Amino acid sequence: MYQRILVPLDGSPAAESGLREAVGCAKGQKGATLFFLHVVDDFSMLVEMTSVRSFEEMLKGLRQYGLEVLAKARRSAEEAGVHSEGLLREVTNERVAEVIVDQARQHQCDLIVMGTHGRRGFSRIAMGSEAEQVARTSPVPVLLVRQAQEAEAPAAAQPSAARP
């Protein structure tokens, strides 16, 4: 069904949920390819550079982190028998969502699978939602995967009401 799947990754638990879902989708499709994308957004880094020695040093660290995220994802795909490619992109004056949609077009993807934090209310307004922006602007279907929640405590471990 879906042969070319773009999977944006940032190393977060939400992105890990998206990764697992994408590998599961591709595993059953003969000839499917996963395109793992990590975006180094150096604009946000500029805002927080008050204690950083050098911009280049920080950028080098972000690139290395991105390469590690991509390598881990590729290992997961390989273990599942799924072909994959890693894409590292750097941006300064672009929204990450724009880069994701652009990469989906460039690689002729027919699906984007990405994790979402599921923020609501003020935190969504304050932090924005790249996933929402991708879903609104993508030329291909987008599968948003909610971040996996920790398992709830078993009933025996939950406090019970006092009995008379």
| CB-CB contact of 101 with 139 (8 Å) | yes
pLDDT band at 137 (very low <50, low <70, confident <90, very high): very high
Q: What angle do CA 44, 18, 86 make, to 5 degrees?
A: 70
Amino acid in the structure at residue 41: D
Output the pLDDT for position 41: 82
For the segment 22-77, what is each residue's pLDDT rounded down to a tens digit? 999 999 889 999 999 999 986 555 545 545 567 778 888 889 999 999 999 999 99
Mean pLDDT of 6-12: 95
Q: Does the CA dihedral 52-53-54-60 come out positive or negative?
A: negative
Instruction: Output the CATH code of domain 4-148.
Output: 3.40.50.620
Neighbours of 164 (CB within 10 A): 3
Q: What is the pLDDT of residues 89-133, one digit of tens each?
A: 998 888 899 999 999 999 999 999 999 876 554 434 333 478 889
The single residue listed with the structure tokens 């300064």 is: 92
Q: What are the phi and psi torsion angles at 41 (to 5°)?
A: -105, 95
d(CA 59, CA 5): 28
pTM greater than 0.75? yes
